[in-house]
Each structure stands twice: as structure tokens, then as C-alpha cells.
Structure 1
Amino acid sequence: MTFVAAPARLSTADAAFEAQFKARLHWSADTDAAIEQRVADILADVQQRGDAAVLEYTARFDGLNVTDMKALELTQAELKAAFDSIPADQRAALEAAAKRVRSYHEAQKKASGESWSYRDEDGTLLGQKVTPLDRVGIYVPGGKAAYPSSVLMNAIPAHVAGVGEIIMVVPTPKGEKNALVLAAAYVAGVTRAFTIGGAQAVAALAYGTATIPAVHKITGPGNAYVAAAKRRVFGTVGIDMIAGPSEILVLADGTTPPDWVAMDLFSQAEHDELAQSILLCPDAAYIDQVQASINRLLNEMPRAEIIAKSLTGRGALIQTRSMEEACEISNRIAPEHLEVSSNDPHRWEPLLKHAGAIFLGAYTSESLGDYCAGPNHVLPTSGTARFSSPLGVYDFQKRSSLIEVSEQGAQALGQIASVLAHGEGLQAHARAAEMRLK
């Protein structure tokens, strides 16, 4: 079967551009009401019945009929055996990727994840104490969607942050365990792992069961049921984000081989039909070349049907008046992945404010960031890069303010606090400060 991809062809010079642009960007995070109700029921059931409910749902949804939760736990020996069983090139690739991801996050911790303090003129100490979370849960998709890279990207920053326990959950429909995922768990330092998934796994992590300890934060991607469950347990535990469909925006000046750009657009479109791939470029002839590359390369791809539906339904090739205007539109989109496909990317990077990750230069394909460049691939989507950041060491830490007021400092601060407390009508606050005045 031959597939055709027809991304929308837009131009900022057209009067109808704004309406067409907004329509192409639109995506709703609202979950189907039936899914929300089913998830609510599962969460409540697991919270009440614990392991028994998890076993029941695992049998129903994943076809794993076991009578004891111990049968659903993966031992460290099994993770090590999985690592030993995979081909040598895969072992080497996992270790090389893990080393780069770990190095990046160690640098991140040093730059933004350390405690600090200072004393002011009167000897008062002020500062911030940074401590790791005690226990976190990472959700890893299983079955057909097996992502060892997600294991590395979620577990390694938690490990670098100093998290005491990292609990991984991964569904294994009909008992099919992905060796590369288990090997990644071994390399990344996962503490315990369970072959459960779906809303029931999120519930077990959030509330705890007799077998699975309750965690303090849950990270990692999943389907609509997992996303709805994470949204509902937020507050009981922390979560990383509610992710939308994958996105890539390529900002091109026309100097990169068009085949490269077409394949980069494919790299996100192949995720699913709702993924979004957009090209911004001031050169109409170059956009024509990229479209020709899309037409020629599409049917070589194993996931051609998904790519075609994604590009036709949500993709866009947009001609801008200039690269400066392309940067402005990019900031409005705030994409998950932003490629600056230019022979002078550092000219444009200062103009780019909102993106999950920025890939500079023609040789920096987004796919390198997904696997092994080093920075985290868990990124904000659907415009949330305007106010959100990539997953990092800081997501697995918390901060406590440090305050030690000296006797001298209490005299000045006490007067200030007294005035403000009386102004708010909180007399006990005022008197607590006043009692320390000489």
C-alpha cells in the first residue's frame, strides 16, 4: 500500500494564517469521561484492597494469572541476567548512553542541586537545604511500546539526586518481558521492579500495598489511563507532568539537506497519529524540496501509515517572512523539541525563549537527544515549555529554607514582624516576635 503525507502548507503572509495556525496547533488534554471514571474506580479499589486488587487487574488487563505479588517482582539477578543476555552492541550502547546521561545530570546537580547558606551583617544565617526524595516510582511502558531509553532518563537523574529507592513498574502483557528494558533498569540502578502497569500500577505506587511501598513521586510516560491516574493521585504524591503527543519544530534557513529535515519530521510523526511535526522556513523553494523528500522517503518507512496520518492531520510546512519571524512563531508554539537547522544556529538561539530542548545545527538530530546526547528526553509538551522544564535532578530533590536569627538580628526583624503582624490582625505572631526584643 502506498501512503501519502500532506502536511498543511501555510504562509505568514496570508490573511488567513492566524486562524489556520491556531487550528493546526489545537490539541485538548481532556480525557474521555469513561476513562476517567474507570481510572477513579481502579484507584479506589487498589487503595482499599491493595495487592489483591493489583493481582486481579494484572490478570484481567495483562493476562498474568498469579496468586502472589512475589511472582510479579523482578529480582536484581533477573535484571543482571537480562543485561548479560542482550547482544554485545546493545550492552555497549546502553552503557555509553547511561554514562552520558549520568555525566550531564551530575553537572546539573552541581550547578543547581546543592545546598547553600550565608550570614548577613548581624550574624543571621539564611540559606537553603537541598535533600533527595526518599523513594520514587518510575513508570515504563511495556508490550509493543518498550522504551529502555525512558528507564535511563527517569532512573539516572533520580539516582544522581541521591534518591534512596527507585521502584520501577513495567507492564508485561502475557508475560512478555523486554530484555532491553530490564537491562536498562540494571544499568540505571533501579532498586526494585514489578511487572505491573496501567492505573493499578500508579495506584500501588501512590498509596502503597503490602508488597509495593508507597513512593513520594511518580515519573514516566504512559497511555491515557496512566496519564489520568497520575493526574488523580497528584497531591498524594508528586508527578513529573501530564504529557501530550510528541512534537518537533524544525526552524530551517534552507542550508540543511532536505532529506535530513524530512526524516527529522518523521522521527516524531512515527510516534502516533496525534504527534505534531512543523517546519518553519522563509525559503519557499526549500519547503518544496522538503515536501519532495517527504513524498520520496515516506513509503520506505515501516511506520509509513502512522507518519502519513500524523503529518496530514497535524503537520505543517510554514513559510515565514524571515528567520526572525520564524523565531517569534517558535516561541508562540513552545515546542517539545526545537531543531535550529541552520549553518549559524548561535545567531538564532538567543531569540528562542520557549522550548523543551533546543538542538543546534544540522548535525544535531532530535533522535540523538532521545537516546544518548545526555540531557533528559522527558520534556514539556503542548506549549507547557512556556512555564515547565525538562525532567532533571531537581525533580527528585526538595528544598527546605534555613533560618537562624541571631540575638542582634531578632531586634531588627522583630520590630518589622511586629508591625506587619499587627497590621494583619495576628497578635500572637506579633507577640512572639516582641518577646525576643530587649
Structure 2
Amino acid sequence: MDAGLAEDMPAAGPGPLQGLKVLDLSRVLAAPLATQILGDLGAEVLKIEQPGRGDDTRGWGPPFLEDGSARPDAAYYFCANRNKRSVAIDFGKPEGAALLRRMAAGADILVENFRTGGLARYGLDAASLLRANPRLIYCSITGFGQTGPYATRGGYDFLIQGMSGVMSVTGRPEGEPGAGPMKVGLPVSDLFTGLYATVSILAALQHRERTGEGQHIDCALLDSQVSLLVNQAMNHLVGGAVPRRLGNAHPNVVPYRDFAASDDYILVACGSDGQFRALCRLLGREDLAADPRFATNAGRNRDRRVLEVELARAIAPWRAADLLAAMERAGVPGGPINGIDQVLQDPQVIARGMLREMRRDDGTPVTVLGFPGQLSRSPATYRLAPPRLGQDTRAVLAEALGLGADEIEALRAAGVIALAEPPPGTGSSA
């Protein structure tokens, strides 16, 4: 194990969601992230995958995790699929759909991200499954939700970033080199929706605890992203102006942006008048702090162009590391712009357990990003590395539905299910 990684250790105790059974009919990112969170917190998650294909992200490489298999899984797949068991069932076949209906009858939570209405033909829609299991919490994640004029459209993160207005406030401003709308460098619309779905599921569990009722949760990428326009939307709703691209500058707070030092870029984030005055003293520009135009944030915002030019001149001669160290001593918020490789080696990130080493059933090690919430009594656990396709089909069908070996073999022979090949280097049957 690499130095600094948190080795997967036996769980200190049951997770807070232990005992809950989750049927995961999702793929790609938003919904798998939600079910991974539930798994991290102790729930049993059964990931239902198409035989022979599996989650689309298994093929979204390179890079791939080289484990000696003919079809190694892509790195993308590992970001949202730990603490799950993979069950390969073709529910396009009547026998496969019947298996899933039986599994849903004993589940607490079902998460799916098929197009609106897409599961009804298999009897796997919310109305059908809630009739059979009124305590079921059924969460649908789509691009635009179950209602409205766009309900039947497919939704993708890139499209939602554009439609939601996020790209209109992301990127260099007009008149600067490289100006134009830009998507965020991470699939934030997917990620936000996965988080909102998890929050909604936990709320529904609390409702069920009080009333015994399950329910249908309708989560949409567009809704989630619009809800997180936050201050930019409120600036428009209150002030009437249409927010515009400001590059790395803040629409409300000044100075709050990147500046070029002599050898690198740094970030300055002054959230108060006192921090601004401290920055001016540090830079030897007390005249800026004393200028009535810049005495308050409202004034600094109004005359930001003039102020930022002066600050840029004062910052330019400094070495980035020296200035950041001086800012820390002076109580001025600031920081570097790390590369992904740098942040994954940062001592604070390591100390907080944000890198976890796990091992797949064949012994192949894989390092994953940790769960960020530090629960003092019931912490997240890292029990199962992201599984191989169909790795757990046989065991789950036997445990959950009581199927015998002959029944399982008949389903396999009919193409209803798939059983994983033995791990590379072993002779056992999966």
C-alpha cells in the first residue's frame, strides 16, 4: 500500500443504514453516486446490470484498471460503484423482469435512471412496485423529471449545464482572450442530482419510520442544477441584472479571484473589509485601504476594475509560495491552484482519509476517493471494492430469492442472467 493511503480495515461497527436493502437499476453517474453513498453508510446495494455489457462506464476508458482480464474496467466506473454487489439480469426478458419484481418486493429502496416511463413495460415502474410493496422508496433520476414538457427527453450533464445557465456564468468574460461559455470541469449537474437524490431518500426513510409509507421520489438534473444557481439567481431575482461571465472573479465579493505572481497563479479571497485592509498592508498599499472608493465591499465591487489592476501590480513581483505564506500569517485567505495530482498528495487530504485502498475479489488493488462526512459514532465503511460484472449473480439469487443451483443454471442457459468468469488466475467458478 502507498504511504498515506487508508487501508481498508474491518468495519468498526455497523453503518447507520445497515439492514436496508437497495435495488440499484442505474448506470453512469448521478444515480450510481447516490447508491454508493447509501452503500458507504451501511446499506446493502445490489447493482443490477445488463449481461455482457454492464454499466456503460465500465467501457469509458482509457485508462483501465489492468487486472489481466480480457475486458478490464475503466477508471470512470470506480468513482461511483464501491460497496455494491453486481447482479447481471436481463430484465428485457420476462423471466428477468419477474426476478426483479420479486427482489423489489423485499427491498427498502429502489433507484433507477431510465427515461420517464421506460420501466412500465416490464412492470418495474413506481406504481406497479409500490402496489406490491407499499413500504418501498422508489427514486427516479432523469434529465427533466416525470412531468413537464421536457419529461420524455434524455438528459445529459453537458446539456444541463448549458440549459440551466451554469455555462453562461462560467468562462472568461467578453473582450478577454479565450472568452466564451465554458462547462465546469466536472459533471456537476450529475453530481448535484446524486446528492439531492440521497438527501431525498434519507428524508423518505424518516417519513416511512413515522408512517410506514413508502413513496416515489422524482429527481431531475435540470431541477437540481437550477436550485444551485444560488446567489447568481438571487442577484437576478432581486436586482434584475442578468449575471455574466466573470472568469475567476466573484459576482459579489471583491477582491476574490486569481492573480499572477512572478512564478505562478494564486487565489485571493477577501470576504471582509478587515481582510482587505490586511492584504493592502501586506502588499505595502495602505493607500488602497484608505481610498474611500474601496472602504466597503459595495465600493470595491463598483470600482473593481481599478482596484484589481492595482492589486495585480502589487502582487506580480512576489513568488507565489512566499506571498501565500505571508498571507496566512496576516490572516488573509488565499491558496494555490492545485493540479489533481497535487491535491491527491496534499497532507490535509491524506490526513482526512480521503484516499482509500480496496481490493477486488481477485486481489487487484484499487484506490478510491473516501466518503467526506466524518460521523463520530457510525462512520462510513469500505467493505466491497467496485465489483466485476455479474460477480455476485449466483450468490444473490440464492440468498435473496432462494433459487437452487439447477434453477440458476437454467436461467443462465436461457440468457436471462450472466455469471461472472472466475477472477483471473483462479480456477473457481464465480
- Shared fold by TM > 0.5? no
TM-score by length of 1: 0.28
Q: Structure 2 length as normaliser, TM-score?
A: 0.28
